[in-house]
């Protein structure tokens, strides 16, 4: 049996279906019975039209009844009757035959000329069946009415499967009697877990806080990129405290019916109060928590009414009501200020991408049930996955396991993790053939990136250089930071610009031409230079000013529409500074590649032959070509 149940389900669905099926079967029975039972006097014998004509011409029929295309009556000649289907001689016998459609009024004239009495009835079946068809609609109407009233009663008793139960909460209630997730099952996130410990302590012993007048935050907002473990952390908080945990996505509040969202909010808090102490978790709260007044609906917008009800419920908490509301979002910038103020969401906990130590712990958690080779070094893998979230790391481990199965291995080794990392970062291999010229261009392009990065100080170490088509690219040069960075000096960023433009510079040096392969490099370099000038104050001519130009969402990396806060003259000056930075970086790359053109050719030749080179192979080729110079590069 599942350890969770929905308040939106339930009810007496089984009994309702039984009633409906019973009515259908009863109706079918009545129909068949009515068709099989003849309501006329005695048993009627079906005869052919030819037999009917013979009896009519013989004068054995004195009266008939016509109903549609059916004609019925009584034979009066015992001699003729004894000839019909081997019947014993009798003085009279009822019959029934069917007239062909082309008879028309001619048959009536013939009846009149032979002195046959004619009675005409409207078509529509037997009298019994007509009565049944008259009664059936009323039976169905009464049945539907009884069904609706039963469902309404069930809705009032807490069932949410009823016809009119749109306004009841769809939140899932997780069973606290079964083992759940606790903080021990959540790798990393130590700072967030520390902040949530007091929430756990309050839920376990609220009297301790009330005795000295302390108030625990009513609402906790978890802010972070997708996949960083916000939902998992909320569940772990409930598991640690051992209290009921209601979970719902904010989008489930909104329906096409007006007022449904507000009704569901009321019902959700009602359920939480009935099971207190408890935790309510609302995922993606920005679906209903966006700033009010920004849409076309105004105050009558259904989403805004839902938000108003949520604000009212949070304000309606009585002191120490033992209910904690936890919400998660990756768009804190769009939330309504009234939702974020103290008294509602008092505490904001940022859950950022994990550092390498946390990544190592996460990898170990997801590898518990995997068969790993002894050579697998989780620390090395963790350091080689900067920027990955917990969800990314889980996917990485799974891809490595799939790679091992594909190759028929008994255990997952380091090579499987490397292949999985390439797939996650750059995409799957493309079975694509391209010309020798395109292969040479790609090889020199990637060799240019690698050589300039190797020669410049303060750049991230090379991890791998490849000209194997993956995803949307024909080749890639991967860099792995030696440590997680939180600050970016100008010298480091200028070197990154030079490395980004080195591929295009190598193409220009060797082929006296440039290609469209540098499109992504130019895009990234231009975006970085724009931030340096317009946000980070790294241009002497623009000065220490932040104009918000090129500003991105801190988590999603998407531009936010903001009002321009600078003049056209300042925009032109920023454009010039961005251009000068890029030209300076390209000039540095050109100078380094011209000086070490022979090294560039050796590195490109090795790539053409091997298609992929790791950091040690790149270093060995460059050192050998340069005459065994000191390893890597200068420290300054």
Q: What is the pLDDT of residues 41-55, one digit of tens each?
A: 445 678 887 888 888
In angstroms, rounded to a whole number, what is the distance separating the alpha carbons of residues 536 and 540? 11
- 120 forms beta bridges with 66
CA 225 to chain centre: 16
Among 71-75, 521-525, 632-636, whose mean pLDDT is lowest?
632-636
Q: What pLDDT is attached to residue 360? A: 86
Q: What pLDDT is attached to residue 554? A: 46
Among 20-34, 73-87, 265-279, 401-415, whose mean pLDDT is lowest?
73-87
Q: Is-contact 229 196, C-beta < 8 A?
A: no
Buried b (16+ CB within 10 A) or exposed e, 331-360: bbeebbebbeeeebbebebebbbbebebbb
Read off the pTM.
0.61
Top-confidence range, 151-165, 250-264, 513-527: 513-527
**Cβ burial, residue 166 (10 Å; 0-12/13-18/19+):** middle
Instruction: Please state the rounded mean pLDDT for residues 227-239.
Output: 80
CA distances from 334 to 14, 287, 305, 388, 457 (A): 45, 10, 17, 25, 40
CA distances from 244 to 184, 292, 365, 550 (A): 19, 31, 25, 45
Residue 269 has pLDDT above 60, yes or no: yes
C-beta neighbour count of 362 within 10 angstroms: 28
Q: Where residue 297 falls among pLDDT bands split at 50, 70, 90?
A: very low
631 vs 459: which has the higher pLDDT:
459
Q: Where residue 192 falls among pLDDT bands split at 50, 70, 90?
A: confident
Q: What pLDDT is attached to residue 20? A: 60
Q: What pLDDT is attached to residue 631? A: 47
Q: What pLDDT is attached to residue 253? A: 62
**DSSP assignment string, 76-120:** --HHHHTTSTTPPP-S-EEEEEE--TT-TTHHHHHHHHTT-EEEE
Q: What is the pLDDT of residues 554-591, one digit of tens each?
A: 444 444 445 677 888 898 999 999 999 999 999 999 99
Q: Where residue 158 falls among pLDDT bands split at 50, 70, 90?
A: very low
Q: What pLDDT is attached to residue 148? A: 67
C-beta neighbour count of 209 within 10 angstroms: 15
Q: Which residue stretches of 166-318 are H helix? A: 190-204, 206-211, 230-241, 260-274, 286-289, 302-315
Q: What pLDDT is attached to residue 574? A: 92
Q: What is the pLDDT of residues 131-157, one digit of tens each?
A: 666 777 777 777 777 776 665 555 444
Q: Is-contact 525 500, C-beta < 8 A?
A: yes
Find tokens 């790679």 and name the residue.
Answer: 403
User: Catalytic residue numbers?
Assistant: 446
Q: What pLDDT is attached to residue 506? A: 92
In angstroms, rounded to a whole number, what is the distance separating the alpha carbons of residues 225 and 353? 7
511 upstream amide cis, omega within 30 of 0: no
Residue 87 has pLDDT above 60, yes or no: no
**Spatial CA neighbour of 289 closest among 238, 341, 245, 237:** 341
Average pLDDT, the chain: 75
**Cβ burial, residue 32 (10 Å; 0-12/13-18/19+):** exposed
Q: Where residue 497 falls among pLDDT bands split at 50, 70, 90?
A: very high
Q: Which two tokens stand for residue 47?
A: 């005869």
Sign of CA dihedral 342, 346, 350, 351: negative
Residue 211 has pLDDT above 90, yes or no: no
Q: What pLDDT is attached to residue 452? A: 92
468 vs 490: which has the higher pLDDT:
490
CA distances from 609 to 155, 207, 232, 439, 443 (A): 72, 73, 47, 10, 10
Q: What is the pLDDT of residues 23-41, one digit of tens each?
A: 666 666 666 665 555 444 4
Q: What pLDDT is attached to residue 261? A: 66
Q: Is-contact 55 61, C-beta < 8 A?
A: yes
* % residues pLDDT > 70 (the chain): 73
Q: What is the pLDDT of residues 317-376, one digit of tens each?
A: 555 567 788 888 888 877 888 888 877 887 888 888 888 888 888 888 888 888 888 888
Q: What pLDDT is attached to residue 475? A: 83
Q: What pLDDT is attached to residue 180? A: 65
Q: What is the CA radius of gyration of the chain?
A: 41
Instruction: Please state the rounded mean pLDDT for residues 228-236.
Output: 81
Q: Which two tokens stand for residue 301?
A: 């917008």
Q: Where residue 12 falls among pLDDT bands split at 50, 70, 90?
A: very low
Q: What pLDDT is attached to residue 208? A: 77
Residue 77 has pLDDT above 70, yes or no: no
């Amino acid at each position: 049996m599942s350890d969770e149940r929905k308040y939106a389900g339930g009810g007496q669905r089984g009994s309702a279906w039984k009633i409906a099926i019973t009515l259908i079967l009863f109706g079918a029975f009545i129909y068949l019975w009515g068709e099989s039972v003849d309501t006329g006097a005695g048993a009627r014998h079906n005869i052919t039209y030819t037999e009917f004509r013979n009896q009519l011409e013989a004068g054995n029929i004195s009266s008939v009844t016509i109903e549609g295309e059916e004609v019925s009556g009584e034979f009066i000649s015992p001699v003729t009757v004894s000839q019909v289907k081997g019947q014993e001689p009798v003085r009279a016998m009822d019959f029934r035959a069917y007239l062909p459609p082309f008879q028309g009024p001619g048959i009536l004239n013939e009846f009149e000329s032979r002195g046959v009495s004619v009675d005409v009835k409207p078509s529509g079946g037997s009298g019994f069946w007509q009565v049944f068809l008259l009664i059936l609609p009323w039976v169905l109407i009464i049945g539907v009415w009884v069904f609706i009233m039963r469902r309404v009663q069930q809705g009032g008793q807490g069932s949410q499967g009823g016809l009119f139960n749109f306004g009841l909460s769809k939140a899932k209630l997780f069973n606290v009697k079964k083992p759940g997730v606790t903080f021990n099952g959540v790798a990393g996130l130590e700072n967030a877990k520390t902040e949530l410990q007091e929430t756990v302590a309050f839920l376990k012993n609220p009297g301790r806080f009330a005795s000295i007048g302390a108030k625990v935050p009513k609402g906790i907002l978890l802010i972070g990129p997708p996949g960083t473990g916000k939902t998992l952390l909320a569940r772990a908080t409930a598991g640690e405290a051992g209290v009921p945990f209601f979970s719902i996505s904010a989008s489930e509040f909104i329906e096409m019916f007006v007022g449904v969202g507000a009704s569901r909010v009321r019902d959700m808090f009602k359920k939480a109060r009935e099971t207190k102490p408890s935790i309510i978790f609302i995922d993606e709260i920005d679906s209903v928590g966006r700033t009010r007044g920004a849409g076309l609906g105004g105050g009558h917008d259904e989403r805004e009414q839902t938000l108003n009800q949520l604000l009212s419920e949070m304000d309606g908490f009585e002191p120490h009501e033992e209910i904690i509301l936890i919400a998660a979002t990756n768009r804190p910038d769009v939330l309504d200020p009234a939702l974020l103020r103290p008294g509602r969401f008092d505490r904001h906990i940022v859950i950022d991408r994990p550092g390498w130590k946390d990544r190592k712990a996460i990898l170990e958690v997801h590898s518990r049930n995997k068969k790993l080779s002894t050579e697998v070094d989780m620390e090395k893998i963790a350091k080689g996955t900067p920027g990955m979230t917990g969800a990314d790391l889980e996917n990485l481990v799974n891809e490595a396991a799939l790679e091992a199965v594909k190759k028929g291995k008994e255990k997952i080794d380091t090579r499987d993790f490397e292949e999985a990392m390439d797939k996650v970062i750059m995409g799957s291999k493309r079975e694509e053939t391209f010309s020798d010229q395109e292969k040479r261009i790609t090889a020199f392009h990637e060799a240019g990136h690698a050589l300039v990065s190797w020669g410049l100080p303060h750049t991230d170490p090379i991890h791998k250089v490849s000209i194997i088509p993956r995803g949307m690219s024909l080749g890639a040069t991967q860099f792995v930071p030696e440590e997680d960075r939180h600050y970016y000096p100008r010298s480091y960023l200028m070197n990154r610009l030079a490395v980004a433009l080195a591929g295009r510079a190598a193409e220009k040096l060797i082929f006296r031409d440039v290609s469209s392969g540098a499109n992504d490099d130019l895009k990234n370099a231009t975006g970085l230079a724009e931030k340096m000038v317009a946000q980070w104050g790294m241009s002497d001519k623009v000065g220490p000013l932040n104009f918000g130009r090129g500003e991105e969402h801190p988590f999603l990396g998407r531009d936010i529409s903001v009002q321009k806060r600078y003049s056209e003259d300042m925009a032109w000056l920023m454009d010039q500074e961005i251009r000068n930075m890029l030209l300076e970086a390209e000039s540095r790359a050109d100078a380094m590649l011209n000086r070490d053109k022979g090294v560039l050719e050796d590195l490109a030749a090795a790539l053409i032959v091997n298609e992929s080179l790791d950091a040690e192979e790149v270093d060995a080729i460059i050192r050998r070509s340069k005459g065994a110079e000191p390893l890597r590069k200068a420290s300054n």
